[in-house]
Amino acid sequence: MPRDYYELLGVSRGATDAELKKAFRGLARELHPDINKHDPAAEDKFKEVAEAYEVLSDPERRSIYDRYGHEGLRRGGFEPHFGGFGDISDIFEAFFGGGDLGLIFGGRGRGGPQRGRDLAAEVSITLEEVLTGTTRELDVEAVVPCSRCHGNGAEPGTPIETCPRCEGAGQLQSVARTVFGQVVRTQACDRCGGDGRIAQTPCDVCRGSGYEERSHTLTVDLPAGIDDGQRVRITGRGHAGGPGVPAGDLYVLVHVRADPRFERHGEDLVTRLDVPFTDAALGGTLPVATLEGDEELAIEPGTQPGSVRRLRERGLPSLRGRRRGDLHVVMNVLIPSKLNEEQRELLRRFAESANGDTYEARHEGLFDRIRQAFRG
Ligand SMILES: [Zn+2]
Ligand SMILES: [Zn+2]
């Protein structure tokens, strides 16, 4: 059974065209094949999502789908069109090749020269680094113009002639039939690789391609406040493009390592503080973990288990430069589990002296307070 189209796009059944488009753009960015090379499932997921968007963005098909579901579309003669495409890059081109959707991938125009391919890398950082922002040196292997022939593909000093296949244009056109009508595709010439010219004596280093793969080190800035799973895009640091065409981008996927002391909720942090019951009852001072090191926290007399102290602006900074989040300290009051005879006697005497005013029963609110602290 195919999945529900609205569910696939993560929108409500009443979603407007603008909401559909926004949801689709977001998913398409996430499922971009160049940044999901290690995840073959992403390609299938993209196809599903594209099919859902294709149907829901067409008022007629959407109304059939709303009333009769997938079965209604099938009876109406609607076929998902992906059989007609060679591979996922064709789909991307058909969807994003022109028009405003082209903005998703940097305005790559239909039929225009391709940008170089994007590159992907991953880094892992600590919560402390999220606080301050940090940099990483990355070793990247990218396609760059050949150092020997400077990209023209010819042994230095040998002649270069016009490509007979594309007659120097560098591009070949073909027509693909899709449900959108005919889509004219312009591809780089397979003979000259888009250059329009062919070297008579191919360069020794790149064998005439004009490119070579080289590794280099570059420094990536990771801004304060970045979250686990976010990507930093470095424009132009992907693979080199064809002649006169911009390089692709480098996408750096950021992993934030889990810190056992803190739970992150957006810009807020939650930590737990173990408070011996005597400190909770009498008050005192205890060290609490913050991202900037331990800090002495005054414990109020009568501190209740599960109560939360909020240390303002001791959480994480916002990527957008707003104020820092807060640090929520959940009081974990410790009740002794091992007592010697003397301690038992002290507590018995305490229990005898306790009266109706000693305890303030506050059952309600305990779980609410915990929930509040963990709300992102
Ligand atoms: Zn070369
Ligand atoms: Zn050619």
Can you name the residues that pair with 187 across neighbouring β-strands? 172
Q: In angstroms, what is the span from residue 60 Cα to ligand 2's centroid?
A: 43
Q: In angstroms, what is the span from residue 204 Cα to ligand 1's centroid?
A: 6
Q: In angstroms, what is the span from residue 153 Cα to ligand 2's centroid?
A: 13
Question: Which single residue is written with the structure tokens 């069109």?
Answer: 81
| Res. 25: pLDDT tops 90 | no
Residues 57, 277: Cα–Cα separation, whole Å:
61
Task: Mention every residue, 6+ apart, whose C-beta is less than 8 A from residue 74.
Answer: none
Region 116-131 average pLDDT: 94
Residues 7, 330: Cα–Cα separation, whole Å:
37
The number of the ligand nearest the C-alpha atom of 194 reads 2
Q: Which of the pair, 186 or 267, is modelled with greater confidence?
A: 267
Q: In angstroms, what is the span from residue 145 Cα to ligand 1's centroid?
A: 8
- 192 touches 174 (CB < 8 A): no
86 band by pLDDT with thresholds 50, 70 and 90:
very low
Q: Which of 121-130, 160-169, 170-179, 316-325 has the highest mean pLDDT?
A: 121-130
Q: In angstroms, what is the span from residue 189 Cα to ligand 1's centroid?
A: 19
The number of the ligand nearest the C-alpha atom of 206 reads 1
Question: Which single residue is written with the structure tokens 């977001």?
Answer: 26
Q: In angstroms, what is the span from residue 109 Cα to ligand 2's centroid?
A: 20
Residue 81: C-alpha distances to residues 86, 231, 237 (Å) = 11, 31, 34
Q: In angstroms, what is the span from residue 212 Cα to ligand 1's centroid?
A: 7
| Res. 98: pLDDT tops 60 | no
Residues 64, 60: Cα–Cα separation, whole Å:
6
Residues 112, 4: Cα–Cα separation, whole Å:
36
- 224 touches 272 (CB < 8 A): no
Residues 348, 96: Cα–Cα separation, whole Å:
77
Q: In angstroms, what is the span from residue 282 Cα to ligand 1's centroid?
A: 79
Token pair for residue 131? 């606080």
pLDDT of residue 184: 76
pTM, entire model:
0.57
Residues 169, 164: Cα–Cα separation, whole Å:
10
Give the 3-state secondary structure of 258-271: CCCCCEEECCEEEE
Q: In angstroms, what is the span from residue 103 Cα to ligand 2's centroid?
A: 28
Maximum distance among all Cα pairs of the chain, rounded to whole angstroms: 105
The number of the ligand nearest the C-alpha atom of 199 reads 1
pLDDT of residue 175: 78
Q: In angstroms, what is the span from residue 198 Cα to ligand 2's centroid?
A: 8
pLDDT of residue 246: 87
Per-chain mean pLDDT for the chain: 83
Q: In angstroms, what is the span from residue 158 Cα to ligand 1's centroid?
A: 12
Residues 243, 149: Cα–Cα separation, whole Å:
13
The number of the ligand nearest the C-alpha atom of 170 reads 2
Helix (H) or strand (E) holding 233: strand 231-234
The number of the ligand nearest the C-alpha atom of 204 reads 1
Q: In angstroms, what is the span from residue 162 Cα to ligand 2's centroid?
A: 8
pLDDT of residue 199: 85
Q: In angstroms, what is the span from residue 206 Cα to ligand 1's centroid?
A: 4
Q: In angstroms, what is the span from residue 206 Cα to ligand 2's centroid?
A: 18
Residues 18, 22: Cα–Cα separation, whole Å:
6
Q: In angstroms, what is the span from residue 169 Cα to ligand 1's centroid?
A: 21
- 282 touches 149 (CB < 8 A): no
Q: In angstroms, what is the span from residue 89 Cα to ligand 2's centroid?
A: 21
What is the side-by-side order of every strand in the sheet holding 231-234? 119-125, 250-256, 231-234
The number of the ligand nearest the C-alpha atom of 190 reads 2
Q: In angstroms, what is the span from residue 241 Cα to ligand 1's centroid?
A: 15
Residues 326, 312: Cα–Cα separation, whole Å:
5
Which tens digit of pLDDT belongs to each residue from 347-370? 999 999 998 888 876 665 656 666
Region 17-29 average pLDDT: 83
pLDDT of residue 33: 60
